[in-house]
Amino acid sequence: MRRVDKEIKDIKTIESILQEADHCVIALSYNDSPYVVPMNFGFKDHNIYLHTSKEGRKIEILKVNNKVSFAVEIKTKVAKSKRSCDWGMNYMSVVGEGYAHFIEDSKKRIEALDIIMSKYSNNESMTSFEYSKTALNKVALIKIEVTLLSGKISGYK
């Protein structure tokens, strides 16, 4: 990281940013052509979990190249200044890389959905979720085994 003064070294802080972020952007590549897409996600045990349709461009790319990058950011705010060239952005961000794998095992698919649902439910009393077989059969579930993770902060202490 070029700006080591902005680097977040504490893994707990990085994990809290991943928990707070409402979406992540994943980056894929096929035949030297980049493709990025925002997605809902879950994070647990150093893994990112995604759900998506079983068809589409990202699925086709992942079948031939499962190396991915991802990014999240929170608390973004324009930092104005008296001089236009001194403007900036306040933020907390996490970027990472890893390998995406389709989750085929039915028990692990439910666990992945539970991780994602727990993130977005915001209902502390919800400890379990129910999914119909139809709903489970409609979605692809993806686990990104994270190999590189870094955080950056600007404008916050």
How confident is the model over 7-40, as pLDDT tens digits?
A: 899 999 999 999 999 999 999 999 989 999 999 9
Question: Whole-structure pTM over 0.75, yes or no?
Answer: yes
Query: Residue 79: its pLDDT value, please?
Result: 84
C-alpha 113/C-alpha 117 separation (Å) is: 6
CB distance 77 to 155 below 8 Å? yes
CA distance linking residue 47 with residue 122, whole number of Å: 20
Domains and CATH numbers, the chain: 4-154 (2.30.110.10)
User: pLDDT tens digits for 48-77?
Assistant: 999 999 999 999 999 999 999 999 999 988
Contact 59, 52 (CB under 8 A): yes
Contact assessment for residue 153 and residue 18, using Cβ atoms and an 8 Å cutoff: no
Distance of alpha carbon 88 from alpha carbon 72, whole angstroms: 18
For 9, phi and psi rounded to 5 degrees? -100, -20
pLDDT value at position 127? 62
Which pLDDT score, from 0 to 100, does residue 121 have?
A: 87
pLDDT (0 to 100) of residue 113 = 94
pLDDT of residue 54: 95
For 53, residues 6+ apart whose C-beta sits below 8 A from its C-beta are 59, 138, 139, 140
Q: What is the pLDDT of residue 123?
A: 58
Q: How far apart are CA 8 and CA 120, in angstroms?
A: 25
